[in-house]
Each structure stands twice: as C-alpha cells, then as structure tokens.
Chain A
Amino acid sequence: MELLDNLYLGATVVFSANNLALCLIGCMVGTLIGVLPGVGPVATIAMLLPITFGIDPIGALIMLAGIYYGAQYGGSTTAILVNIPGEATAVVTTLDGHQMARNGRAGVALGIAAIGSFIAGTIATMVIAALAQPLTKFALLFRPADYFALMVFGLMLAVVLARGSVPKAIAMILIGVLLSTVGTDLETGDERLTFGWSEIADGIDFAVIAMGVIGFGEILRNLDAPEARVAVQAKIGRLLPSLADFRQSLAPILRGTGIGSILGLLPGNGAVLAPFATYTLEKKLAKDPSRFGTGAIEGVAGPESANNAGAQTAFIPLLTLGIPPNAVMALMVGAMTIHGIVPGPEILTKQPKLFWGMIVSMWIGNLMLLIINLPLIGIWVRLLRVPYRLMFPAIVLFCCIGIYSVNNNPADVYLTAAFGLVGFALIKLDFEPAPLLLGYVLGRLMEEKLRQALAISQGKMMTFIDHPVSATLLSMSLVVAFIVLLPTIRRRRERVFAE
C-alpha cells in the first residue's frame, strides 16, 4: 500500500523527540497568541516567523503548521467568547458560537468546535494522503477562467451569508476587491490607487484591514452600545457536549468535513469559503432555520469542522502547485523560501520526507490541540474573563504590537487606525463588514486569473462559458444570485440574520 508507506514515512519524520516538541510548542504558542482578541493566525504566524529561523526546514515547517492550527483554534475560541473573528474562516463561528456563549453554553460551543475540528482533521489527513497525487493532475486541468468562475461562485455564497441588505453585502465585497487592487501592478509596475503614498506601494496588508475594520470596529461598537458587551463575562458551563448535542452535531461535522476538504483543495482560497458554504447548507437543511443566528450548535459544529478540514487540505495547492490559497499560506511561502524550499510540484517528488512529514504532523497537531486545549480552556478563559474596561485597552495594545510586528513599520499602525474609522462608519451605516475581508482575500487572485483567462482567449469573453467547469460554476452563481434576490426568500433571510 503506497498510502500507508507514505504515511509511515511521514510518521518516522514526526516521531522524533525534537519534531514532536516543536509541534507541541507551536500548538501552545499559537493558541496562546491566537486566543488574544484581534490577533488571528496571520498576525500570529507573521509574529512568530522569526523564532523558526534557527531550526532545520522540516522542524520549522512542522512548528509553523502547529502555530497555524493553534492560532486557528485560539481564533475560534475568541470568536465564540468575544465575538471577534481571528481570521476570515472564523467569521461564521461568531454567528452561532457567540450566541451560544450568550446563552450560557460557551463550554459546549468550545467543546464541539474542538471535537469537530479533530474529527475533520483526522479525515482531512486521510483525504490528503489518498488524493495528493491524483489531485495534482486534476488541479492542473483548472484553467484561469475556471479559477475565476470558482471565486465568483464563492463570493455569491458570501452574499447569501451576509446579514442585512443584499446590495450592501455586494458593495462590501466589491470594496474588498477594490482594496486588493491597491498597490503596484505586478505586470506593468504601475502604481494603482496609492495616491502617491509609498507605504502602500506593495499593497495593503491583510492584517491591517482585518484588525482595523473588524478588530477596532468591534471595540468601537462595544463602547458605543455598552449593553452589547456581555460577551466575555458569560459563564463557560460544561465543556463536554451532551449526547443530544453530539447526535445533532455529527452529521454537520461530517458534511462540514466533506465540504471543507473539497473546497480547501481548490487553489483559490476555498478554505475560506468552506465555513460559509457549510453554514448556508446547514441552515437550508435544518428543520427550523430560524434557530440559526441564535445559538444553533450545528452552526458551530459544521463550519468549525469545515474550516479545519479546509485549513488542512489548503496545504495541497501550496505543496503541489506552489499557489498560496490564502493569506496564511502566503506567509508559509515566505517561511519556506527563508528555509530554501521552493513550493511547488517538486516538493512531492524530491522531498517526500518533508511533504509527508508535514501531513502527519497536521494530524499529531490536531490531536495535541484536543488533548491539551480542552483541559486548558480554563486558562484561556481566565485570560478573557477580564472586565471589558480593562480588556479593550489591552486588545488595543496587542493589536498595535501585532500590526507593528508584521512589517516592523509604524505606517501599518496608522493605516490600521484609519481602517478602524472605516469599520466604525460601516457599522453606523448598517453595513456588515465581514464580506469586505473575503472580497479582499480573493480579489487579487481574481484579477490575476481574469487577466490570464482573457490573455489566453485573446480577449474573448466566451472563454468563461464554453468550458464545462467555468460554465457550471458561473451558472451556479447565477442560480444563487437569483435565489438571494427573490423577495420572499430575502424577507425570510432578513428575519434570520437581522437579529
């Protein structure tokens, strides 16, 4: 069995005292920093990147992967307890996870998130191991036009998810895409929308927008409406979900794992779409969709499993094609380059130890997170159970340090403050800011693929509809758009989301 051979090879790499210790440290430090509100996986990895400089490449990547999972786990904890998503993938968790916390079921939400993530991680590891080679071939069949169509479809799903008005959600996505075009054009070297400011010539950092619009925006919203800030004071309650909770969550966990594994594989940031898609699916499947948004356990179990499965399979486009599918993977490219590894198809053939070692370490990392973090949840919670009047100045400080540390540049900190003002204005004007982040993350790749597709087709728009993959994805997008805009469904949707 080639599969078992490969996994065995990976296990021999991971099961050295050194690499196990690095994996453990990565998970712990990742959780510690990821749990701090406003400091998600992107900022955490960026901050911790320097500490891997002295380690050998395999160990360094195992540790970084651990930091990634830890930070993501910590980010979910914060999303549930404080309503601040650490990263785009945790946005969905805030919807029902935070409502569960408000209902006094924070512990169950955290427990089901951890258990769902572990199940998803286990299955996703097997999926990667089984499909790595055939999928390399399949992904190569994706034309730029297909990538573009895929991202359009993903953004349509995000509109379904967004709260409130549909035109506003679309506008937020478009603003995100527009922000992603800021900076020097890679093909021509033209500076776009920088207004002559050299600090943003390389584009605006994801962390700057995320912390500004979401992080600071949330603080300002809480200060503005003091009654809204029950978040952290809520009690945790029991951690282990009851048998009924389990029965309710098992199917969503498995569906989320399936969606996450598939979407994560696609080079185009599918992992970010996975929790959105899962949430939408669970809401459609539920007997009583109105429970969603008020603390439905399926709304935590499904998306949390999906984001973990997607987080794991998202390594595939990076390792096989060398395309970073999201902001975290973009940082991983940086880390690999520092260690002299060129991401791409050559990793699998020339460095099988590295490839399979990382894959096995993902499963070990997930196991460590489950075993270590559930008992330690009390410590993370104590970290968060500080009165808000003390909490938010500390968050401000952490965000400042985090933002500064991404590039060691005070200009990023100024820019984050400006985006904080934008976030406050958006909230005041009834715009839900979450779709903006998704538009931003996908925008750059969308433009790249659009330009490639049109260059290949010599300017013919037909290229988007005369191939089955892009044609299917675009017609599915149209169907979603139609459903969303149907007034009756829209009215119901608003009742579900508008609280």
Chain B
Amino acid sequence: MAGTSPGTRLASDIVGGLLLIGVAAVAHVALRDIDSGPTSSVGPAFMPNLVAGLIAAMGVLILILGLIPGGRRLEPWTLRGPILVLGAVVAFAATVRPLGLAVAGPLAMILAALADRETRPMEVMIFAAVMTGFCILLFKVALRLPIPLLPFILGY
C-alpha cells in the first residue's frame, strides 16, 4: 500500500536538500589538500570551505522543511528534451573543430529540433540550412570570427 500512496513519493525538497549537502561534501573533500590558513592570512580554501559549509546548512534546512508533510512532490522527469537539446550542444562541440560550422550547425539544429514533437522534418531541414547560411554570413563573413567553416574541404 505504501508504494501507491501519494504521501510516500519523494518530496522535491528532500531531493534538493540532499543534493546541496552532496555538493558541499564533494567541494569539502576536493579542498582537503588546500590551505585554509589562519584568518590573518586567509588561504585559498578558506572562502570555498566557508561557502560549502553554508550550502550544507541550507541543504539541511531545506531537507528538514521537505520532511514536513504536504510539500510539493517530485514531478516525473521527461528526458527527451534534455537528452536531445544538450546532445545537440555536445554534438556541436565535438564536430565544430574537425568538421566546421557548415556541418556542426545543421547537425546541432536538427538534433535539437527532434526534442519537440511538433517538429516537421522538411521545414527543419530547410530552416537549418538557411540559418547556418545566415550564421556563416554574420559570424564568418561579416564579423570574421575564427570559427572553422568547412576545414576538411576548404582548409579553414
């Protein structure tokens, strides 16, 4: 019976509080080899450690508030958007140097567009081509940014 009652589903504040405590803990561990120093000559780890401590305190507070019944429940996450949009960004990062803007541009746009169910394939392909052309004119021709265009054919 416990599995289906809404009261047992995770409150989003519990997750949020735990994440904050986790971030603070990771930061604290990562700073263990760095000097905090006495207050008269504050070391490089002083401020991040102080801030991490305060983050942990906020995390505990939010966690406790989340334990109070009646808070907002965690919504189900749809991962289609994040995977495709951020995947498009990663694809751009991976291809812009070796293949250039002329390839990375349309690739990123078409991948990102797949995140939306309303996307029409032909429209997106034409639009991706037009926008890439516009970006090449704006950033490459008009502004002369040093972003590679089509290095494996043009050499730049």
A contact set with B: CB distance below 8 Å: 47-48, 50-51, 165, 167-168, 170-171, 174-175, 177-178, 181, 185, 187-188, 190, 192-193, 195, 216, 219-220, 223-224, 388-390, 392-394, 396-401, 404-405, 408, 410-411, 413-414, 416-417, 420-421, 424-425, 428-431, 443, 446-447, 450-451, 454-455, 458-461
Task: Looking at the assembled complex, report how far the CB atom of B81 sits from the nearest CB atom of chain A, in whole angstroms.
Answer: 4
Residues of chain A within 8 A of B54, CB atoms compared: 170, 174
| B interface majority secondary structure | helix
Task: Looking at the assembled complex, report how far the CB atom of A19 sits from the nearest CB atom of chain B, in whole angstroms.
Answer: 21
A401 and B112 CA atoms in complex are apart in Å by: 15
Instruction: With A193-B30, A420-B85, A454-B40 given, name 7 new contacts (CB 8 A).
Output: A171-B58, A190-B35, A192-B48, A223-B81, A396-B92, A413-B92, A429-B13
30 A-B residue pairings within 8 Å (CB atoms): A47-B143, A167-B65, A171-B59, A171-B62, A175-B55, A178-B23, A178-B27, A178-B51, A178-B52, A185-B44, A187-B44, A190-B35, A192-B31, A192-B34, A216-B86, A223-B115, A389-B120, A393-B88, A393-B112, A393-B113, A394-B127, A396-B88, A400-B104, A408-B147, A410-B93, A414-B90, A421-B82, A421-B86, A430-B12, A430-B13
Cβ-defined contact, A417 with B89, below 8 A: yes
Which residue of the partner chain A has the closest CB to B59?
A: A171
**Contact A400-B92, Cβ < 8 Å, known A417-B86, A459-B39:** yes
The answer to whether B102 has its CB under 8 Å from any CB of chain A is no
Residues of chain A within 8 A of B146, CB atoms compared: 50, 408
Cβ-defined contact, A47 with B145, below 8 A: yes
Cβ-defined contact, A397 with B135, below 8 A: yes
The CB with the most chain A CB atoms within 10 A, among B20, B30, B58, B61, is that of B58
Task: Looking at the assembled complex, report how far the CB atom of A180 sits from the nearest CB atom of chain B, in whole angstroms.
Answer: 9
Q: How many residues of B contact A (CB 8 A)?
A: 76
A216 and B51 CA atoms in complex are apart in Å by: 26
A380 and B38 CA atoms in complex are apart in Å by: 55
Cβ-defined contact, B108 with A396, below 8 A: yes
Residues of chain A within 8 A of B31, CB atoms compared: 192-193
Residues of chain B within 8 A of A187, CB atoms compared: 44
A425 and B80 CA atoms in complex are apart in Å by: 14
A219 and B20 CA atoms in complex are apart in Å by: 24
